[in-house]
Amino acid sequence: MSNNLKPLVGVFSLASQMKWILITVLVCSFSFCAFIYFDAQNRVQAAIQNPWLVDNKTGDVYKGLQTTGAFSPAQREVEYRNHVNMFYNLFYAYDQFTYEKNLEKALNLIGESGKAMFLEDQHDGMLRRLQEQNNTVTIVVDSIKFDMNSNPVRGWAWAKQTNTRVTGSASRHLDSEFIIYDLPSGRTDLNPHAAMIDRFIITNKTKVE
């Protein structure tokens, strides 16, 4: 090769290297942008499927109802109903042998309002009365309804509790209103519906005539 051609070969070699460097940079840039785009899309979908709701009155934050995925709102409502029914049958149905065990299970299904009711029952000496009088307390839940469009979801339950003792039995209404929301931690053995009742209030506990 003549000395006159050597500079030209060097220029072509440098241009070839620059071309491949430019192609590599473009490919890496495109791949990075594609990763960012798809990651953002996944995050948006996750946010849509798992919304967090803010109560406008109290400022409390709750996990919203998942509207897509494994359960539709109608299916989730069935689980909510079963959750509330389970709570009623644990918290308001017992005898001296099952009282403490039932309450312990029920407290996994309800928030702070449940703990307040538990302390109130303890203060009233419920277990002592059960032991002394050999009472059996049963519950019949007549109906449970929800407003699935509210934020958070509001619910109402109508039930009748019967206290049976040696001398006879007496019944009272145990109607309530409450809110219910999803737990971000998911289902567990202690809370199989991944839901939590809160702001539970007994609205009617009059005697059944």
Give this prediction's pTM: 0.67
Please check whether residue 183 is in contact with residue 191, taking contact to mean a CB–CB distance below 8 angstroms: yes
Q: How far, in Å, CA of 34 to CA of 60, rounded?
A: 37
What value does the mean pLDDT take over residues 178-192?
Answer: 93
Q: How far, in Å, CA of 165 to CA of 139, rounded?
A: 15
Q: How far, in Å, CA of 124 to CA of 60, rounded?
A: 31
What value does the mean pLDDT take over residues 120-148?
Answer: 88
Higher model confidence: residue 49 or residue 206? 206
Tally Cβ neighbours within 10 Å of residue 1: 7
Instruction: Please state the domain extents for the chain.
Output: 1-49, 61-204
Q: What is the pLDDT of residues 10-25, one digit of tens each?
A: 555 666 766 667 777 6
Please check whether residue 178 is in contact with residue 198, taking contact to mean a CB–CB distance below 8 angstroms: yes
pLDDT of 199 reads: 94
Q: Which CATH superfamily is domain 61-204 in?
A: VirB8 protein (3.10.450.230)
Strand partners, 135: none
